[in-house]
Structure 1
Amino acid sequence: MIFKQNSKFQIISWSSIATQKDSALLLGNGASMAVDKKFSYTSLLNEFAYKGFFNIEEISLFDYFDTNDFEMILRFLWQSKHVNQALDIFNPKIDSTYKNVKSALIHGVSELHSEYDDVFNDLEPISQFMSKFDTVFSLNYDLIVYWAMMYGNNNPKHSFKDCFKHGVFDYEWQKYKSPIRFQESCTLIFYPHGSLALARSIIFGQEYKIANSTTYSLLDGIQNEWEKDDIIPLFISEGTVEQKVHSIQTTRYLNCVLNEVMPFPRSHWVIYGWGFGDQDAHILKSIKKSGAKRLSISVYRGSDEQEFCGRVYSAIHREFGHFIDIEFFDSYSPKCWNNA
């Protein structure tokens, strides 16, 4: 169903959106910004440079490889450092650059990310909203979904599962779709672009979830884990579609989420806070592979809302053809995301 009124796209309330049993939720950066305006920057690398976390040489390294991917740059530097060590080549600049880039990332994320207490009041409505869906995909690297998932798991009748067992992702993820014990329902959580809570060992190639004894200390635990020599974060914060797809292909978890979990058959997708940018065209292609028949898309109320609807409408029909129902809803609707 395509809602138009007087040649304009109609933007309805969330209460008018009927979710289905197999509905999936996709979260973009607008979801994080709705919780904390700290996430309003468009480029993590540019924000770090603006705040002085990187020097000119370190920024030029990203420019040389034409990337904003911290994981890739750290991996290249670590490999170069250890190749030099193996060949008995002394080059302290590579070692210092590796430490500086990693330190900048640690301190930059620490400064830009919300504290648990600052977002605590949003966790209950977010967990309730996410519980309406069979599956949730978050394109954001931050910990908001992770914290809301842990908060929501206090509900004895519903569970959130990210399919990590003892910190390692279980590639037989479909078996987690069924509720356990006395639970009535469950929601699976996935991160197509990774998360601060995920890391990778360069030496062993192992990808895992960082866990702490309490959610309050999770951000500190992540920073402590990153300080280990061979550990690098597993998240993609920005870049072109080609750069993102290349980075995804280098990690087993991200590749599984994009090419197996997202295309799993489901007819209805709710999309909240996602801008449908060209850099995320691979996400729309994966949604198409799921056999989606209906897309419900949030709209941020503002002067350009009709322009946004028109652009999204065109992008969807270019990818899907005309065999898709589209509806737009107000992102500030009651009971939607973190709205009371």
Structure 2
Amino acid sequence: MKILTFQEAIDASQKYTKRHLLLGNGFSIACKPQIFTYGSLFSEAMKKMSKELIAVFEALKTRDFEEVIKALQNASAIITAYNPRLGRISKLMNTEAVQLKNDLINAIAGTHPARPNEITDNQYQSCREFLSNFIGEGRGGKVYTLNYDLLLYWALMHEERESPKYISLHHDDGFRKDQEYLDAEYVEWQGEGASHGQNIHYLHGALHLFDAGHQLQKYTWVNTGRALVDQANEALKKDAFPLFVAEGNFRAKQEKIQHSAYLHHNLKSFAGTCTSATKKGKALFIFGHSLHQNDFHILKFIGAGKINHLFISIFGDENDKENKKMIANVNEIIASRPRALPTLEVDYFDANSAHVWG
């Protein structure tokens, strides 16, 4: 099997109308391997959970922090109505709910850079050069990410216009100023009607997006200058939860997505990108993702759609165990393409040759 360089893959994709990008966890690992190789945010938080709290996650069959916190709060409020002598259990449930918020904050803080300046200017420059192949001037592509960390957001916001190496990225994540509170420290997602130009999509949410009930708010470093952990702490105290899809099987992820207008919109966008046809066809680049069945709710659109060409990053020896698994996953996607649709071409490129973070 021939492995292309990233530039060779870009050159080969020039014949298509547009090229789009799907990012997996390898995008973040390439920047901070010592941080982003943790198993999961839940695994980190679980290290400090009580046996009872872990049992609650298991009983509810979820990895969704918000669902468990709200379940504990609700149970705490009503349990004494059935048995007034369970006041101690009621207080314990409420305490566990508060502790779980703290566990979530500490897990985020322990597995994520606190501030944008922990990434160097050269790293941002390289990342923006990589992204410019998809959303640079005149490109017209879209970027979809399965990561809920802030690295993509920080790279997009790192605009040094006075720099001689400045790269213009045409990016829009669909968030705008709250028209009722123009001086607010956040911006809000104003729904599908205001997102026609959106080309940055967090398919599984992100740690800077908070569900405030009446609106989805994006906390910004530019407006606050405060560290992620501090913003998360303040938001959680107000019962605003970070919107992200925790680990689990694809059915659990799909259920969470269907209950969020923002996540559902992003998924529909990806589905549309995959299924709509263009005169010269479309290419989809996938970087840092194993194409595992856990993300079938997203990957199924590639097989069933009209993407003409996949360019997939491969890290290390193509014959190692993990890469063989990934290639097998890709072959399943190819085989799922209906015969009536265009043949799905696939090429692999060397992940290191993309120099995503320098």
- Pair in the same fold by TM > 0.5: yes
Q: Per-residue CA shift, 1:280-321, capped at 9, x if unaligned?
A: 001112334652111110001133365145313322123325
Matched, 1:138 2:145: yes
Q: In the alignment, is the contact (CA less than 8 A) between 1:45 and 1:68 conserved in 2?
A: yes
Counterpart for residue 307 of structure 1: 324
1:71 paired residue number = 66
TM-score by length of 1: 0.83
Range that drifts further, 302-311 or 251-260: 302-311
- RMSD of aligned Cα (Å): 2.7
SS state of the match for residue 337, structure 1? coil
2:48 paired residue among 50, 53, 75: 53
Q: Which moved more, 1:82-91 or 1:269-278?
A: 82-91
Distance 2:77 2:188 in 1: 26
Cα-to-partner distance string for 1:105-135 (whole Å, 9 max, x where unaligned): 0011111112433323422211221122111
1:255 and 1:55 map into 2 onto residues whose CA distance is: 33
CA contact (8 A) 2:314 2:351 kept: yes
Q: Give the aligned length.
A: 316
Any conservation in 1 of the 2:248–2:294 contact (CA below 8 Å)? yes
**Which whole-Å deviations, capped at 9, do the CAs of 1:13-41 have from their partners, x for residues lacking one?**
10111344521111101111111121112
Q: Please tell me whether the aligned partners of residues 163 and 169 of structure 1 are also in contact (alpha carbons under 8 angstroms).
A: yes
**What's the secondary structure of 2:133's corresponding residue?**
coil
Match of 2:183 in 1: none
Deviations 1:247-296 (A, max 9, x none): 11111100111123442337211000011111100111233465211111
For the structure 1 residues 127 and 60, does the alpha-carbon distance in structure 2 shift closer, same or farther, using more than 3 Å as the test?
same
1:207 and 1:79 mapped to 2: Cα distance? 23
Compared with structure 1, are the counterparts of its residues 227 and 258 closer, same or farther at alpha carbon in structure 2 (3 Å cutoff)? same
- SS of the equivalent of 1:291 reads coil
Q: Which aligned pairs between 1:86-97 and structure 2 lie closer than 5 A?
A: 90=87, 91-97=90-96
Query: Among the aligned pairs, what percent are the same residue?
Result: 27
C-alpha change, 1:101 and 1:174, in structure 2 (3 Å) is closer
Name the amino acid aligned to 1:295.
L
| C-alpha distance in 1 between matches for 2:265 and 2:287 | 22
The amino acid that maps onto 2:100 is: V
Query: Are 2:217 and 1:208 aligned?
Result: yes
CA distance in 2, matches of 1:252, 1:62: 25
From 344, 348, 351, the counterpart of 1:324? 344
For structure 1, list consecutive stretches of 5 or more residues without a partner in the other structure.
Answer: 1-8, 178-187
Contact 2:105 2:229 in 1 (8 A): no
Residue 180 of structure 2 aligns with which residue? none
Mapping of residues 108-147 of structure 1, within 5 Å: 108-115=107-114, 116-120=116-120, 121-133=122-134, 134-147=141-154
- Structure 2: distance between partners of 1:123 and 1:87: 57
Verify the 8 A CA contact 1:212 1:221 in the aligned structure 2. Answer: no
Q: Distance in 2 between matches of 1:114 and 1:84?
A: 40
1:275-314 correspondence to structure 2 within 5 Å: 275-288=290-303, 291-302=306-317, 303-304=320-321, 307-308=324-325, 310-314=327-331
Relative distance call for 1:156 and 1:47 in structure 2 (3 A) is closer
Aligned mate of 1:242, from 251, 255, 259: 251
CA–CA separation in structure 2 for the residues paired with 1:147 and 1:86:
48
Equivalent pair of 1:26/1:271 in contact (CA under 8 Å): yes
User: By how many angstroms is 1:214 displaced?
Assistant: 5.4
1:172 aligned counterpart, secondary structure: helix
Q: Which has the larger radius of gyration?
A: 2
Q: Distance in 2 between matches of 1:217 and 1:99?
A: 22
Which amino acid in structure 1 is aligned with residue 284 of structure 2? Answer: W
Pick one of 138, 150, 155 that aligns with 2:157.
150
Q: Matched residues in 2 for 1:153 and 1:316: separation? A: 40
**Conserved 8 A contact 1:295-1:327:** yes
For 1:24 and 1:17, how far apart are their aligned partners in 2? 13
SS of equivalent to 1:329: strand
The normalised TM-score by structure 2 is 0.79
